[in-house]
Amino acid sequence: MREIHGKQVCETIEEVLDPSGCAVVVIDLQNDFIRPDGSVAGAGADMRGMDGILDRCASFIAGARAVGVPIVHIQTITLRDGRSDSPSWLRAKGGIVGADFTLEGTDGAEICAEVAPLPGETVVVKHRSSAFRQTDLDLVLRAAGVRTVVVIGVQTPGCVEATYRDAAYHDYYNVLIEDCVAAYDQAQHEASLLVQRGRHDVCTAGAALSIWRQAAGRAAGPPGVTAPAAV
């Protein structure tokens, strides 16, 4: 840490990723966005970028859970009959994959089974790209004492980047896990990562998990040492 204007500021990625202040925010890992029979694939999107993303994210989530880092799941829901869509949002959605994805009450809107929330884990519903936009995500994170938002999911240049940037604008440290994000367009995926590496913290799943596991080991103390009994 270093002091700037009387405030303690993280200097290293290890400080930023102190597990006591982290939460993993999982963006839009839903059937319509990932599955080959989902509405995005049905609209003609190139799904090759989704290969392996569920396995990588599931492994990272499991590692985070094992060291006590909370998981917050983000779920995009489109209300029926256009009730959540403005004209500009319809244009933006239609230009990507068509307007009718993740409709409320459909299987396509459900979070993929491989990364499904466990009992007690928070699910935040959103209707726009950023998971902070008119949702209770900020409230949930602050109530849990979160200082660092760790982002995984899809798509890299869309909802992932929007949420990742917005986390910084809400005064969180932010870390993008580069091998746990994906996009339908690989060029856009790489361009987004290039921009984010120049502005914020980006690291691999392995690096983040290593930091968390080492911190958990230090907190546990040396082998064979136990806490004194309560009196």
Active-site residues: which are they?
A: 28, 126, 159
CA distance 101 to 184: 15
Sheet with 22-27, side-by-side order of all strands: 122-126, 71-76, 22-27, 148-154, 173-182, 201-203
Residues whose CB falls within 8 Å of the CB of residue 159, separated by 6 or more in sequence, listed in order: 27, 28, 74, 76, 129, 130, 131, 153
Q: Which of helix, strand or coil describes residue 184?
A: coil
Q: Measuring CA to CA, how many Å separate 76 from each of 50, 97, 104, 144?
A: 17, 14, 9, 22
Q: How many CB atoms are closer than 10 A to CB 35?
A: 18
